[in-house]
Structure 1
Amino acid sequence: MCRWAAYRGEPLYLEELVTSPKHSLIEQSHCAVRAKTATNGDGFGIAWYGDRPEPGRYRDILPAWSDCNLKSIARQIRSPLFLAHVRAATGGGTRRDNCHPFVFGRWSFMHNGQIGDFEHLRRPMETMLDNELYSARSGTTDSELLFLLALQFGLDRDPLGAVAEALAFVERLAERLGRLALVRFTAAFSDGRDLYAIRYATDWKAPTLYAGPMGSNGGYCLVSEPLNDDDSAWVEVPDGSAIIVGENGVDVRLFGTADVAMAPASRLFSG
């Protein structure tokens, strides 16, 4: 399983998540404590938003702890919205185009989890993509394909609904093919304006997700595991939930695929 961290709020240096905290993302790359695999050394990536609508991105196949360029970039780049990921490969080779975050236009996306029997579902999943999205697929992971499916199903129009529709499609496809309908999905994605995250699994064993305030003026961080030992600063996001971090704070919603519909937002966090 992978580890990731995402932030939206007043501009912060990337190092505030990636390198500086006691349990930073680099620390998690070789010593994760709330994952099945403690080591996440199969590459890393960061995507950040600045003055242009599309995100900047830097990825490599080196372990995050051994890349001096990552530490230098994280110290210099300041952004109001960014995603960072360290990878433990469960499928797809260790190559740059399999490293998260994935980007398309103004969207960025990263994922921790898996699709059961993906090797049997990949081809029919790919056939759902139009030519533009199919041509954009450069890697071999289930994560990238889920991202492209969400774009196909209307991520620009209805972000949470599009992801729900993509996951529901995968579940129905697996059942139709007589395969195990197993999806474990904890993901973060952004259009450069709002930050979204979802924790969901068909077996209620989704990878972990925590939320906590960071910086000033209502900034929030979403992480696979807390960045420090202050347990009171972090709230575990329940399985079957979606989060939107926007200008007005944090909204948490129930999330599911049974009816491809979301419950109304509730204010579980204050801005």
Structure 2
Amino acid sequence: MELKCFDNISDLDRYAAQIFADTIKHNPRATLGLATGSTPIGIYGKMIEMYNNGEISFKDTTTFNLDEYVGLSPDHEQSYAQFMKHHLFDHIDLPKQQAHLPSGMVNDLKAECQSYDRMLAEQPIDVQLLGLGHNGHIGFNEPDQELQGGTHIVELEEATRAANARFFDTPDEVPTKAITMGVGSILKADSIVLVVKGADKANIVKQALHGPITTEVPASLLQTHKNVIVLVDREAGRLL
């Protein structure tokens, strides 16, 4: 596991974006694992800059997102489908059919999970971007006695819903369930970039990187992966 700490958020975002850019330059047909939330917004901004400057093209890449809310249609303003369009997809040359997110609107959610896993098996992820939840979740894999390896439906913890409530008009509007890539699928990525920002994440960063490996802190399972790059700002890394 490689750790890098940054004094400047813009430098952190650029470094993360460069990892993805280098992956694409090495393999224009690379498969990228993408994340949502506030953490990757700046990173996507840097990717867009690189695209606009002619440094990279996404036209031959494939992307898979980690998760989506159950019950939100792709055109809902708080869906992760809309998030990705707004913050990345509408600004680059990635063909729509090559951008994949799980659907939380289908009648048969189990079949959707199985379908997503089949696609992931057919196109393994070269580099996976992750943020870190306050409770140690990655994707929407919440702390539990045991975790599911593949794509599955999860009941969101109240702490997770509260953290996401700022994006909705009222806390009650935050969905109670999500469909998420499993930890097993995440760990199959060739490389993983974990990005953490803010003083409020310092404790969970320490637990994830240096605490016991436990499903009660899902991110701690990243310690078992052979190629993880952890990028933190000074505040998030203050206890390391």
Please give the TM-score of this superposition, normalised by the length of structure 1.
0.30
Structure with greater helix share of residues: 2
Higher strand share: 1
Higher RCO (C-alpha 8 Å, min separation 6): 2
